[in-house]
Structure 1
Amino acid sequence: MQPRNHTDVSEFLLLVLTDDPELQPLFVFLFLCMYLVTIVGNLLIILTVISDSHLHTPMYFFLFNMSFTDIYLSTTTIPKMLINIQAESQSITYTGCITQIYFVLFFASLENFLLAIMAYDRYVAICHPLRYTVIMNTNFCGLLILVSLFISIVDTLLHSLMVLQLTFCADLEIPLFFCEVVQLIKLACSDTLINNILIYIAASIFGGIPVCGIIFSYIRIVSSVLRMPSVGGKYKAFSVCGSHLSVVFLFYGTGLGVYISSALINSSRNTAVASVIYTVVPQMLNPFIYSLRNRDMKVALRKLIDKILMVFQECIL
């Protein structure tokens, strides 16, 4: 098999979820609905936070950013998959593949940092309530977001530039429905040692530190809550953290499921299905988790929907 320089590669082939023509319309309908639910749900969260002054707090500021991240992460992968299913095509251009790698890495990395920041926010709110407004001030919250953006951009740009240095062989089929950096590196004919080392280092630092921060925050939170004399206070504290914990378990749980399935199951199609769950389901369910488990969000969301319905009725009349 003769290696080809990356400049000679015009396209890669993505894995289709089904080869059955009768099932393709069903898959298009299913994932289109999931994508629309993701967009509408996260947009409602964004509009709710903007429209209600009671939600102009650090917690909802971070939730606002999380919703934007979920929208963009879903948009990076699902539309291309729908187009390919509809067109019965597996191809994605070289430029499109590199671009997709960049944005998937960027938004996944940013979501990882946002979850850690939100855990720290909950830690300060419960363990240091009297100093909460001093610690989580506007400038500090903005700085946390900017630092997360900067690290995500630099890390993702480094991975993408390293991929550009690779050469590829005749086998250009990626066993996922979107371009993913690890799978693309496996297709390379050139030496990938530096790429793999970079991935392990980045995952250990930029993945490990946020996860450790989340674990540390919740150890301190649980310790503080258990010392509360009031049962009502304990319930309120745990309910405040419930939504965030659900999202954390969903994000990292599905990611761990993809890793385990790819390591233990020798089936590219099963791995592809697991990757769909990881890149689609958390982003779709996050708005429901935060709106259904949060009383303030439910009240504000109900007000927003009432306003939208009133405007709609006035336009009709």
Structure 2
Amino acid sequence: MPLPPPADAYTPLEELLAGLEQLAEEHADVVTVEQIGQTVRGRPILAFHVGPTGDERSDLLVFAGLHAYEWIGVQTADRFLRDLVVAPPEHVAVTVIPAVNVDGRLASEAAVRHGRWSDYYRSNAGDVDLNRDFPVNHEPVGLWSHVLPGYAASSPEPLSQPESRALDALADRERYDRAVSLHSYGGFLYYPWTGTWERPPDWRTFAELGRTMEAAQGGHAYKPRQLSRWGFFFRAHGSEIDHLYGTYGTQAFLIELTRSGIRPWHAVADLRTPFRWYDPEDPDPHVERGVRALHALVLAPSPQEP
């Protein structure tokens, strides 16, 4: 069933996942589906694998939907995966997880269907922010975590949630060369560290890859930044990209898609509607910008190349 306006430009999650499973069935020679774990409420978390299987390849992980109301990332992952099925990369194996926080997304859809536009959805069904549930740089030390503890503080303990553990187990098994976590909003290409001011050892490589993704986006492109240096007071403790980089050496990015969905001519109403903070009325140009960045990362020289 379609979602009601103003969310009707977005595909309901169950419909989106069913469509991707059907696509995988129709193109079984190109894409395989794997259940990597379950949510708090026992729903499957699906990963789609596309690309070569030989040793002479690099590996990219793209995942979305850690935060419940960030639907634009799920739309972007869907479009990117469909592109890959049509034109599989020759030397890069790609894993796409369209939605990690399935419970949270479905809860937010239910609120939208019942007209509860003022409800705010971010966490999973265990009331934990999955973007703060990973071990590396987990201990809150930044000022922001004390000013707005409910928004910026880390989880009670790392890997406390089944969704986080599923993502970690996959990363441990596959040891991806690169990864992208799709979020909204802000319009930046963030890289580690997020939980400390210190520069990462590979910061020049991160900046170069970020500029490659920026150049591919066209007008109003997102710029690369180390997240913890975006604002001197801000830290994201226990983030997925710090964990992927610090634990597995994965060159991990967090893309904040869009610069908000708030419409200037409806700003007062939109500010009272959390859905609008994250998801624009027309997702297509923002999805296209994100997909271009992802394709640029696929085409970038692998970490093994000189």
TM-score by length of 1: 0.32
| Higher fraction of strand | 2
Q: More relative contact order in 1 or in 2 (CA 8 Å, sep 6+)?
A: 1
Which is greater in Rg? 1
| Higher fraction of helix | 1
TM-score by length of 2: 0.33
